[in-house]
Structure 1
Amino acid sequence: MDVELEVLITEAARSEWAPEPSRHLAEGIETHIVGPLSSRLKAALGHDEASQLARVIAWERCRELAVSRPAAGVSWGYLANLVRWRLMDAVRSDLLRRQRHPLTHEPPELEVTHRSPLGPHLERIAAELEREGLPAPAARSLIQAASDGPPFYRSTVIMRLRRAGARGAQAEALAWLLRGGPGRPSALARLAQGQTPAVVFGDPVVRRWIRAGAGRDLRFFGRRSLLGHRPAARLDRVSAA
């Protein structure tokens, strides 16, 4: 893909981030940003973690650049530098946290007060959760909390979701949707690989993840859950805000 970044951002913003222009921009991000990521950053953060964080940062910056651009314009190199600086900062921050908290597996994290726009694939997953009955603010808040890494190990994704208000089975289901597991790619990975939403969300296993993620599956992973007795992670405080 050699379409200029400014053109892709303009087309996506002009269409109010419709699926097709957003997909073109996402493909450009994969080609120009995620693919050429430094091997050192991948080694420091983990291949999957670095790639996922690069996607989130790049999409966030594109949304910001659609509103306000530097006078000199933007290019793929400009965006790559922004992403690389953020990833390097993530590596340094992670090292500092581990030095300050050597006895903890996961250092304390500050509450995230700024919620960035989701990427096109994450938006699609949020829409599916909303169709299953999870309020839109809650779906977006949980997905954003899960993607606020690194690291992106399933255990840490689940921990971030629990901190954001998801209950046990709900947090596990959302982690499967976004992170997957051994032998079972996530819904996010399948969408990023080019599978159509109809195929991905038509998969009975993914549908079960969606129902559990929305708080509707009482026996997810073979266990009873409190999700049927009390609304799961509706995050009324988020809606009220």
Structure 2
Amino acid sequence: MTDAAPMTDLFVIGGGINGCGIARDAAGRGLSVTLAEKDDLAQATSSASTKLFHGGLRYLEYFEFRLVREALIEREVLLRAMPHISWPMRFVLPWHPDMRFESDTPTSKLLGRVMPWMRGRRPSWLIRLGLMMYDSLGGRKILPGTASLSLEGTPEGAPLQDRFRHAYEYSDCWVEDSRLVVLNARDAEARGARIMTRTEVLSADRHADHWVVTTRDAAGAAHRHRARMLVNAGGPW
């Protein structure tokens, strides 16, 4: 085993979007950073995502307005920062008078109290209200806003059953998730971070004022690292 490396400010475990994003942010703030990933960057969850920058439309039914607002603001930031790997995408929400809430949510419970005759049905005005909030909560400037849409004789309605005649359209955007991870890692490295792939973390032990992290590289050699702070962004492993 090699001798301990010089003390760094931050050691990050995991080379997914969270790990690489944290490394980039910390390095950009002047911290010394080391990141270890046991496989390759974006090896697992970060390359198997929905590939969307989205604000979490469904969370509006749970009254998670702050969460949605923060996500929408970050969506705008990412769109501006990385237009070469992200593209606007329109989504169509078909509506029918008999459509119902899929589960008990704060919104469905409230509607059940004030409009009991709806019997769990989801009114069109509620969808429209939610989409208007989705447009306005995050200060949308880049993507087109929501709109009503007829499905009769239109390409959007062609794959659907005839009973769906009306829909709503809204915007989120598609992103190349693995490239986003790699770009964050490269930028972190450009800011002074040390990015180690094919490097497994064997142990992390807390000492009085720092962490001692033991890793094993692709050649099987073990190394020790010292860091004042440790972030475990290893995902489900």
Name the TM-score, length of structure 2 as normaliser.
0.22
Name the TM-score, length of structure 1 as normaliser.
0.21
Q: Which has the larger radius of gyration?
A: 2
Point out which structure has higher relative CO (alpha carbons under 8 A, 6+ apart): 2
Q: Greater strand share, 1 or 2?
A: 2
Q: Greater helix share, 1 or 2?
A: 1
